C-alpha cells in the first residue's frame, strides 16, 4: 500500500471545515492506504503556547480524531513530539535548506506581515520541518489544500537535494493527493472566506460545540437585507450559508430555501434556524463520542503510545539509513 501522511496543528478544537474538508476522507483512506496521521505540536511552538495549553490542545485533537472515526488499528495516529527522529531529520535537512528559498515562502511572508514581532527561526524553517514530517515515512501522497502546495513543493526539493548531494535515490517524491473527486470547501460564518480557527471565535462551528453554541453562532452569521430581484446572484455571505446547507442539510431542504431566495420570499431567520438544527444533527454522533473519549484517560494513553511506537518504527529505520548515507559511523 502507498503511504499517506497528514498532520494538523494542535491549536484547539477541530471544526466542520477540518471534518468535511479532510477528516471524512481520512476515515475512508485508512482502509486503502498506509496512513500516518499526526498532531503537529512541534509546529505549534512557533506561536509559544503555554505548557498547559499545549497539552490540552494535543489531547483535544487526539480525542476528536478518534471521535470522527480514525481507527488506531488501521491508521497510525501519533503526536509529533513523541517521534524524536522527526527533529533529527529536520536538523539534517536544515543543513541544505537555504535562506533565500525559505524567505520566499509565501506562508513565511504572510506570517511576517501578520506578526512582525514574532519572526522566529521556527517560522522560517517551517517548510523544512514539514518536509521531515513527510519524508521520514517516505510518503508519496499528502492530502493538502492549495495553501500548502508550496510547502509540498519544497519538501520535494529538500528530498531531491538530499538524494543528489549523497548520490543516492533514497527519498521518493511526495505529491498532493485528493482522495475524493469532490473537494468540499467549508465557508465560515463571517461572510468572507473559509472556516478557520484563526478567523475569530464566531467564524467556525467546532465538532465539540454544544447545540446552544451552534445555534448562537449560526444566528449571528453575516447576512444582507435580502434579494431585490428574482433569481439574482447570491452575494458571498449568503452563498456561504447555502454552501453550508448543501453539506449538512437534506437536498430538499436546500432546494426549498433556494426557491424562497429566488422568488424573494426568503426569511434569513428561518434559514439560519434550519441550518443550525441540521448542523446539530450532523455533529451529534461525533459530539457524543468526544465526551466519552475525553474522559477515558487510559484509552487515550494507550492510543498515543501505540501510535508513537508504530511511527517510531518507521522513523527509526529512515534515520538509521540516513545517518549511514550521510557518513555517520560508530567507532
Residues with active-site annotation: 111, 194, 197
12 is in an annotated binding site: no
What does the block give as the cell for 188? 465560515
17 is in an annotated binding site: yes
74 is in an annotated binding site: no
34 is in an annotated binding site: no
Cell 499526526 belongs to residue: 38
Contact (Cβ atoms closer than 8 angstroms) between residue 303 and residue 72? yes
Please enumerate in sequence order all residues whose Cβ is within 8 A of that of 45, keeping only pairs 6 or more positions apart, or say none.
54, 122
Contact (Cβ atoms closer than 8 angstroms) between residue 37 and residue 6? yes
253 is in an annotated binding site: no
190 is in an annotated binding site: no
18 is in an annotated binding site: yes
Residues paired with residue 76 on neighbouring β-strands, in sequence order: 36
Helix (H, G, I), strand (E, B) or coil at 245: helix
10 is in an annotated binding site: yes
186 is in an annotated binding site: yes
C-alpha angle 244/250/251, rounded to 5°?
90
H or E, element range at 35? strand 34-40
What count of other Cβ atoms lies within 10 Å of the Cβ of residue 213?
15
What does the alpha-carbon distance between residue 160 and residue 153 come to, in Å, rounded to a whole number? 11
Contact (Cβ atoms closer than 8 angstroms) between residue 173 and residue 141? no
* Runs of H (alpha helix) within 126-235: 126-135, 149-165, 211-219
168 is in an annotated binding site: no
- How buried is residue 263: exposed, middle or buried, by Cβ count under 10 Å (0-12/13-18/19+)? exposed
Calculate the alpha carbon distances from 319 to 2, 80, 86, 261 in Å: 20, 15, 9, 59
259 is in an annotated binding site: no
| Annotated binding residues for ATP | 9-11, 17-18, 145-147, 186, 194-198
| Annotated binding residues for L-tryptophan | 133
| Annotated binding residues | 9-11, 17-18, 133, 145-147, 186, 194-198
Amino acid at each position: 500500500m502507498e503511504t499517506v501522511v497528514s498532520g494538523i496543528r494542535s491549536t484547539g478544537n477541530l471544526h466542520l471545515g477540518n471534518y468535511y474538508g479532510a477528516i471524512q476522507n481520512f476515515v475512508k483512506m485508512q482502509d486503502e492506504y498506509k496512513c500516518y496521521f499526526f498532531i503537529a505540536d512541534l509546529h505549534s511552538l512557533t506561536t509559544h503556547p503555554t505548557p498547559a495549553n499545549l497539552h490540552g490542545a494535543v489531547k483535544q485533537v487526539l480525542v476528536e480524531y478518534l471521535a470522527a472515526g480514525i481507527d488506531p488499528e488501521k491508521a497510525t495516529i501519533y503526536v509529533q513530539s513523541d517521534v524524536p527522529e522527526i527533529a533529527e531529520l529536520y536538523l539534517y535537512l536544515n543543513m541544505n535548506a537555504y535562506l533565500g528559498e525559505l524567505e520566499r515562502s509565501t506562508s513565511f511572508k504572510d506570517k511576517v506581515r501578520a506578526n512582525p514581532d514574532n519572526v522566529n527561526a521556527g517560522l522560517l524553517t517551517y517548510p523544512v520541518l514539514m518536509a521531515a514530517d513527510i519524508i521520514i515515512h517516505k510518503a508519496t501522497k499528502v492530502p493538502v489544500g492549495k495553501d500548502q502546495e508550496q510547502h509540498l513543493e519544497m519538501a520535494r526539493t529538500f528530498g531531491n537535494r538530499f538524494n543528489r548531494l549523497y548520490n543516492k535515490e533514497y527519498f521518493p517524491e511526495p505529491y498532493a493527493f485528493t482522495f475524493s473527486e469532490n473537494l468540499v470547501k467549508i465557508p465560515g460564518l463571517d461572510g468572507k472566506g473559509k472556516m478557520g480557527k484563526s478567523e475569530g471565535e464566531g467564524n467556525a462551528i467546532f465538532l465539540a460545540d454544544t447545540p446552544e453554541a451552534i445555534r448562537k453562532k449560526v444566528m449571528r452569521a453575516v447576512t444582507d437585507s435580502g434579494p431585490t430581484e428574482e433569481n439574482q446572484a447570491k452575494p458571498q455571505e449568503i452563498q456561504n450559508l447555502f454552501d453550508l446547507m448543501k453539506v449538512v442539510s437534506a437536498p430538499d431542504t436546500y432546494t426549498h430555501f433556494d426557491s424562497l431566495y429566488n422568488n424573494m420570499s426568503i426569511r434569513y431567520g428561518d434559514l439560519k434556524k434550519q441550518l443550525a438544527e441540521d448542523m446539530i444533527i450532523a455533529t451529534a454522533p461525533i459530539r457524543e463520542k468526544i465526551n466519552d473519549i475525553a474522559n477515558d484517560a487510559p484509552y487515550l494513553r494507550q492510543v498515543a503510545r501505540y501510535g508513537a511506537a508504530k511511527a517510531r518504527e518507521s522513523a527509526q529505520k529512515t534515520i538509521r539509513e540516513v545517518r549511514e548515507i550521510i557518513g555517520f559511523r560508530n567507532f
